[in-house]
Amino acid sequence: MNFLERTLASFLNALEHALRAEDLAKADGLLQRLDPRIKVIGILALIIAAATAHKLWVIGAVFAIALSLAASSRISVLLLGERVWFPVLLFTGIIALPAPFVIPGRVVWRLPGLGWPLTAQGLLSAGYLVTRVETAATLSVLLILTTPWTHVLKALRVLRVPVVIVVILGMAYRYIFLLLESAREMLESRRSRMVGELKGSERRRLAAASVGVLMSKTLQLSSDVYSAMLARGFRGEVYMLDDFHTAALDWMMLAVFAALAAVAFYCGR
């Protein structure tokens, strides 16, 4: 697969991810029903609890909580496996692999033939890394898959993120898809005119030129968007409508999240 195809594949992958997230966010599940502000705070608390824990079983327990949240929100284990667990294991697993041999400590086993010592502390530290990363990644993916992006953004206001940043995040997200589409068309049309292989230097020139064209288009786009905003009466101030309403379920779940995180903090010390 050449770089054009690979780039196209990663564009498609991003689009597919976004579409799937939109679908799942509409499903009828526990997390989908929650107020986004409470979801953001609750899941963040669990991620921090998993990050702070000094005991493996506490991280495992937070992972189990994440699994039950997924099950009650109609997120399949298969999807989590494909989107989160496998890629994370591939990346972090490779990084953690030498740890049992490198970290000094009590030797529990020696690699036959080579005689490399395997230490208990090394195994434990590899365990910490992998479980912690898997747990945090699962939780953040749950938040993403069950919440439309615009709601995540509005919920950021409770974390005191400035309005102008929230607005820019929202607009940037919208234009990502426009630019992805524009880049995809550009690369597709180039690919359709290609017979045979390009030389290395030509490939690099093509990639740089594609990014350059995209950049010029983007700068042009920004003035178009600005003119359109001015035409609609934009004067530099940004406002947001906070139209969330909390129900009894939200407060109950906030209490549950708080209790779970507190127990995890306490036990994980």
Partner 1 sequence: MCKALAAPQPALAKFQKANMHIPDGYLSPSTCAVLYGASAPFWYTALQRVKKALATRLVPLLSVMAALSFVIMMFNLPLPGGTTGHAVGVGIATIILGPWASILAISIALAIQAVFFGDGGITTLGANCFNMAIVGSLVAYAVYRLAAGRAALTSSRRVAAAALAGYAAINASAFCAAVEFGIQPLFFKDPSGAPLYAPYPLSIAIPAMMMGHLTFAGLAELLLSAGVVAYFQRTNPALLKVTAPGNLAAEEEIAASPSMWRTVRPLWIGLALLLVLTPLGILAAGTAWGEWSARDFSNLQAREKMTLASKNTAPPGQPPRGLERLSRLWTAPFPQYAPSFVRRPAVGYALSAMFGSGAIILVSLIAGSLATRGKTGVRG
Closest to 66 in 3D by CA, of 264, 266, 269: 264
Is the distance from CB of 236 to CB of 23 less than 8 angstroms? no
Distance CA 60, CA 154 (A): 31
- Kindly state whether residue 167 participates in binding partner 1, applying the rule CB under 8 A: yes
- Kindly state whether residue 30 participates in binding partner 1, applying the rule CB under 8 A: no
- Kindly state whether residue 83 participates in binding partner 1, applying the rule CB under 8 A: yes
Per-residue x/- track, 132-161, partner 1 (CB under 8 A): xx-xxx--xx--x----x--x---------
Which of residues 106 and 193 has its CB atom nearest to partner 1 in the complex? 106
The set of residues, in sequence order, having a beta carbon less than 8 Å from that of 37 and lying 6+ positions away, is 154, 155, 158, 244, 246
| Residue choice 62, 92, 253, 264 for contact with partner 1 (CB under 8 A) | 92
As measured in angstroms, the least distance from the Cβ of 30 to partner 1 is 20
As measured in angstroms, the least distance from the Cβ of 227 to partner 1 is 9
Subset of 62-81 contacting partner 1 (CB under 8 A): none
| Residue choice 23, 27, 71, 87 for contact with partner 1 (CB under 8 A) | 87
Secondary structure element (H or E) that encloses residue 136, with its range: helix 120-146
Per-residue x/- track, 224-243, partner 1 (CB under 8 A): -xx--xx---xxx-x-----
Which amino acid would we find at residue 30?
A: L
Task: Give the count of residues interacting with partner 1 (CB under 8 A).
Answer: 97
- Kindly state whether residue 259 participates in binding partner 1, applying the rule CB under 8 A: no
Name the β-bridge partners of 117.
110
| Residue choice 24, 65, 75, 96 for contact with partner 1 (CB under 8 A) | 96
Distance CA 234, CA 255 (A): 41
CA dihedral 162, 163, 169, 170 (to 10 degrees): 160
Subset of 176-205 contacting partner 1 (CB under 8 A): 176, 178-180, 183, 200, 203-205
Query: Which residue matches tokens 């945090």?
Result: 136
